[in-house]
A and B are shown apart, each in its own frame.
Chain A
Amino acid sequence: MRHTLAVLVENRPGVLSHVAGLFARRGYNIESLVVGETEDKTVSRITLVVEGDERVIEQVSKQLNKQIEVIKVNDITNEETVDRQMLLLKVTADQAARQEILQLMEIFRCRVVDIGRRSLIIEATGDEGKLEAVTQSLRPFGIKELVRTGKVAMVRGPK
């Protein structure tokens, strides 16, 4: 099963390699990893998506906790969360197709951020399901290039 871990770490050089190295040497699989500053400049937050059963995830959390620079590990898989990923997609779009693509993007509330002679760049933000749907809907037109961020997530409510 896929788990989402929110890991608070010290904002220092070398921290990411300590965390990434841990995954490599213990043989855990990272599906995605996003790191960025938090409201506190000395603290970064790593959002990790990891594949594994309960036993594996327990080990991952414990091993992460052992890292000196790791402040807190939260498994937010079963929490009510808001989670977002971003997608940039370059799609083939000649004059004939352009209108149809624009209409589709309207439905998905995506933005067109660049227009070329034969292509468009689409920016989409949302959860995994939405980005999957956007990609599928554009596939028939011809996807020239696609890039996605990992997932960032936040628990809903006052917590």
Chain B
Amino acid sequence: MHIPDGFLHPLILAGTATLSAVAVAVAARKAQRELEESRFALLGVTGAFVFAAQMVNFPLGFGTSSHLLGGMLLAVTLGLAPAMVTMTAILVVQALVFQDGGVLALGANVLNMAVAGIAAGYLPYALWSRGRLRWFAILAGGFLSVVASGAMAMAELVLSGVRIPAALLWSSAVLLTASGLLEGLLTLAVVRALRALQPSALERAQVRRSQAVLGVLAVLLAGGIVAVASEAPDVLDSLADRVGIAERARALLTTPLAEYRLSWAPGSWWSQATAGLLGLALTYGAGVALARALRRRRSA
């Protein structure tokens, strides 16, 4: 599920953007090393394939059909880190060219679908890809990738103060489970056909057991954020209280327009706006400096 701009709390935006920037930078570095720069076209073209694949409909009966989302297929054919980079590129193009998901919300969408979704989906595959459970691993991986990213998106929305009534929440959960099962089945159908057609496509990626750790981390992250959202949807509010931006957060989280007008002391906007901009500039500067330093050390 692609979250558009405007729905997420600034703290969620900042947190998810930081997490996914780090994760994607590490994944890009790993992918580049794994592919030895010799297959630079591969990730882009497989990413384009995912777009094209969404035009092939799988009939479900009852006059409905569905299409592949592709995260698990990328993970199985490319490997963990390259799949994360490819999925990130797909999400960037969807946000910029197709207005599918927001640009500021890209941090959250990348974290949900490209980082946590793919890592969670890879968990069963990393454990069982060689044994007799291989087909089940792909099925379970497709399921986990969709459910983890969908659950994280819902939790981030709830934490941002987008109230969702219980009935709607339950029906979304059912929908999520169904589309997770479907993604597993679709991935399985494609992988089986691919094994008959071109087995070498499935041997490109080296599966390492140790990668399961990342999958466990992703599942824990998804579970944790869902637990926080369901136990304490107002946690950002109290956190904001402590950090000292209570007024602003309350104005964002709770509806009444009148409230923030009263609670905003004149003069405090400027300091907050300046502090926010300064913090942003500092974070960006630190990130660029770190990247430069890493690059220099690597080339030295």
Do A and B associate with each other? no
Residues on B facing A (Cβ under 8 Å): none
Residues on A facing B (Cβ under 8 Å): none
